[in-house]
Amino acid sequence: MASALAQLTATVIACRKCPRLVRYREQVARVKKREFSDWEYWGRPLPGLGDPEAELLVLGLAPAAHGGNRTGRMFTGDSSGRWLMRALYRAGFASQPTSERRDDGLTLRNAYITAAVRCAPPDNRPTQRELAACSGYLRQELTLLRRVRVVVALGQIAFAAFLRLAQESGVALPHPRPKFRHGASYRLGTPPMPLVIIASYHPSRQNTQTGRLTEGMLDHIFQLARQHLEPDRSRA
């Protein structure tokens, strides 16, 4: 499995399917942000990261222009990553509460992080065509990550992207169709697709600085994930 994930990583990094995203990610890497002028930006698509035996999948939207697109690792070097990693650490899914560089020693425990789109999009808004072009990578990850049982979808776009992929893969969705609401969880089909999807607001500055998402609210999401993964322990 590890070798297959490594092959997929190489394929993702070399991807140039979406001309608009290629132009944008490379332009950002050339121009840079003043505070990161001494960095050599990654400027390429980002693969997923984490435990190949993970039972928890965390699905984001896309790399940040001066976060993952700079550092070369998802949710690394930006505000969203700091919020997410602190929550994962408190829930026992991460080895440390910080995520600033791809060589900072971070390891994920029983968790894997990926995204609906692998390149930083302008204004954080990928098109439907770009989402579709990237969906195959997520499908391959789910095939390889055979132990995944719970998905935490960060934001409405990631939530919708996962449900669309599940339905395309033949998984029957519950009726009525699941709707995005922070903290809502839905049981889907049987493996190899995950059994439960949990909706969460994305830890973007737009949500955290306005108070729409608090640290307590994000902690609750991963407490829910724990309850689904360890139902007997959560009742103890």
Give residue-wise pLDDT tens across range 215-224: 999 999 999 9
CA distances 135 to 117, 132, 140, 164, Å, are 8, 5, 9, 9
- Residue 201 pLDDT: 98
2-228: CATH topology is Uracil-DNA Glycosylase, subunit E (3.40.470)
Give residue-wise pLDDT tens across range 127-151: 999 999 999 999 999 999 999 999 9
Sequential DSSP letters for 40-108: ----S----EE-TT-SEEEEES---TTTHHHHSSTT-SSHHHHHHHHHHHHTTSBS-S---STTS---B
Q: Is the pLDDT of residue 99 over 80?
A: yes
Tell me how far apart the terminal alpha carbons of the chain are, to the nearest angstrom. 34
Q: pLDDT category, 234, cuts 50, 70, 90? A: very low
Tokens of 216: 């307590």
